[in-house]
Amino acid sequence: MAVRMGEESPPGPENLAELTGDDAWKQALRDVPREWFVPERAWTTRTGLLERESDPDAWNQAVYTDAPIVTQIDDGSTELTNESPWMTTNHSSSCSAPRFVVHFLDLLAPYFGDRVLEVGTGTGWTAGLLSARLGGDNITSIEVDERVADHARTNLERAGLSPHLVVGDGQKGHPEGAPFDRVHVTCGVREIPYAWVEQTRPGGVIVLPWMHGALDVGHKAKLIVTGNRAVGRFHGECAYMMLRSQREPTQPIEGEVRESEPTVDPRRIAVAGSGLSVWIAGAMPGVSVSDGNHRPDGAFRMVAWDRHGESHARVDYWPEEHSGRVRQRGPRDLWQELEQAYLAWIDRGGPGIERFGLTIDASGQRVWLDRPECLVERMG
Q: Which residues of 313-331 are buried (b: 16+ CB within 10 A; e: fewer)?
A: bbbbbeeeeeebebebbbe
Please tell me whether residue 77 adopts helix, strand or coil conformation.
coil
Nearest to 244 by CA among 365, 84, 86, 75: 75
Rounded Cα distance between 210 and 217, Å, is 9
For the question of residue 288 being annotated catalytic, the response is no
Q: Which one from 96, 141, 274, 311 is the annotated catalytic residue?
A: 96
3-state helix, strand, coil in the chain (%, to 5): 30, 30, 40
Number of H helices, E strands in the chain: 10, 19
Neighbours of 203 (CB within 10 A): 10
The CA-CA-CA angle for residues 116, 122, 28, to 5°, reads: 55
The CA-CA-CA angle for residues 269, 91, 95, to 5°, reads: 100
The residues assigned a catalytic role are 96
